[in-house]
Chains A and B, each alone.
Chain A
Amino acid sequence: MKPSSFAYAKTRSLDETIGLLEQHRDEARIIAGGQSLMALLNLRLSAPKLLVDINGIAGLDGIALDGGDLKIGALVRHSAAQKSPLVARHAPLLALALPHVAHPAIRNRGTVGGSIALADPAAELPACLLALGGAVEIAGPGGMRTVAADDFFQGLYQTALGPDEVLTAIRLPAAGETTRVAFAELARRHGDFALVGLAASARAEGDRLEDLRLAFLSVALTPVRARRAETVLNGQRLGSLPVDEAVAALADDLDPDGDIHASREMKMHLAGVLLRRVAAQLERPVP
């Protein structure tokens, strides 16, 4: 199908963007990479009166160390993040996850900010942000604010972003010497949205695993942490992680609905399989 008719504005600043969003409210929609929104427009699942294109705003496509964080601008394309030496070094979890995001032509255009703002429960980057305990920087009529990943994802496609706000960057704690990360997902076909996926970050403190955060994708309305499984594994000795016990704990952590791609039982089974794979990856330092 073809999109219904709309007006188009390419903005040059955050102020101009926020002004338009304030003025047009529900009738306006931001477009970044368009790799999710354009499909919705073509299918007429979304029919804004005004499309606000933020691709002309300077300064939103940088990747840089800022304090102890790696800051990734909202307009950084998935492919640029994938090729970035800074991401490889300081956010190795993202480097592991990005090849699973869609296909090359989509990664060339889709943005990191768009993926986080959309908060698709099957998407890789929101789960990585949550696993890393990162944060989201937001510009709005009242100025800038920062929201922790744990508070950002609120419901199906629902986030802490207000209708007149713009996500400007994400912040990820930069990886250090002791950082351990892992990523695994199962999809029917490479680049498809995952049936189930798991992102993890932790620290190796001596011979112990500490500060483990496990974030599953595609098992709930948002990316979700598996806090009981985290508790089971935290403080345990590397080399003999109690993986069976952690997998059993997932029964308390996860409550997925089945869908046309996988039943509830299948998703629970795959979640256990992924936890085993991720635990094995966590045994080894980041390469």
Chain B
Amino acid sequence: MNQTSTRITLTVNGGRVDETVECRKTLVDFLREDLGLTGSHVGCEHGVCGACTVRVDGSIVRGCLILAVQCDGAEVETIEGLSDSAEIADLQENFIARNALQCGYCTPGMLMAAAELLAEGGVPSREAIREYISGNYCRCTGYQAIVDAVEATARQRAGRTS
């Protein structure tokens, strides 16, 4: 009971990972430092900024507010996984087209949050988009362009299915 590190097995972006981690290590530090997946960013380390947003078992969470040990047996997806699978290629295109990123620090977390809202389907109101990304800080864009990009993606997806 006094071991301060432990072995974990989990799936990260579809691949199996088997590592020994310190119990105190947060998921986002584990992804960045142990697995070299530096797409997830670390901003505030206390849940406020959203830069560390990743998916665990299908839902977005704060990578800084969950421990790597708690993810033993879990399925973790990061921005690298979402990019490679092209799941959000259209959203990424719209971010670029509308200058919805400048320094890019917030972008992976922003995309993660927006992807979850878009997965609910339909075309959310701008108000609903703002609410859904309210936990993700952007210090560059002023958000307007981000809301535009998410809205445009929702419209394009709705247009394709109807």
Instruction: Tell me the A residues contacting B by CB distance below 8 Å.
Output: 1-10, 20, 31, 34-35, 38-39, 41-43, 49-51, 53, 55, 79, 99, 102-106, 108-109, 189-191
Contacts and interface: CB of A to CB of B under 8 A. Distances in A.
A81 B94 CA distance: 33
A106 B1 contact: no
Given A7-B23, A8-B23, A38 B69 contact: no
Contacts of B78: none
A191 B62 CA distance: 15
Interface stretch (B9-17, B42-50, B144-152): B42-50
A9 B4 CA distance: 10
Contacts, number: 103
A191 B135 contact: yes
A8 B6 contact: yes
B126 to A, nearest CB: 13
Contact of A43 (B46, B61, B112): B46
Contacts of B61: 105, 108-109
Contacts of B46: 38-39, 42-43
A6 B6 CA distance: 11
B79 interface: no
B62 A7 contact: no
A79 B59 contact: yes
Contacts of A103: 50, 134-136
Contacts of B132: 104
B113 A6 contact: no
Contacts of A189: 134
Given A7-B1, A42-B45, A104-B135, 8 more contacts: A2-B45, A5-B4, A5-B22, A6-B4, A38-B46, A41-B24, A189-B134, A191-B134
Nearest first, the 6 A-B pairs at minimum CB distance are A103-B135, A39-B46, A8-B23, A38-B65, A108-B59, A3-B24
B2 A105 contact: no
Contact of B24 (A5, A102, A109): A5
B4 A7 contact: yes
Residue of B64, B112, B117, B135 contacting most chain A CB atoms (<10 Å): B135
Contacts of A31: 70
Contacts of B130: 190
Interface string B5-31: 010000000000000001111100100
A109 B66 contact: yes
Contacts of B67: 8, 34, 38, 51
A20 B137 CA distance: 39
20 contacts: A3-B26, A5-B4, A5-B24, A6-B4, A7-B2, A31-B70, A34-B67, A35-B62, A38-B46, A38-B47, A50-B1, A50-B2, A51-B23, A104-B60, A105-B50, A105-B61, A105-B135, A108-B61, A190-B130, A190-B134
B131 interface: yes
B107 interface: no
Contacts of A3: 24, 26
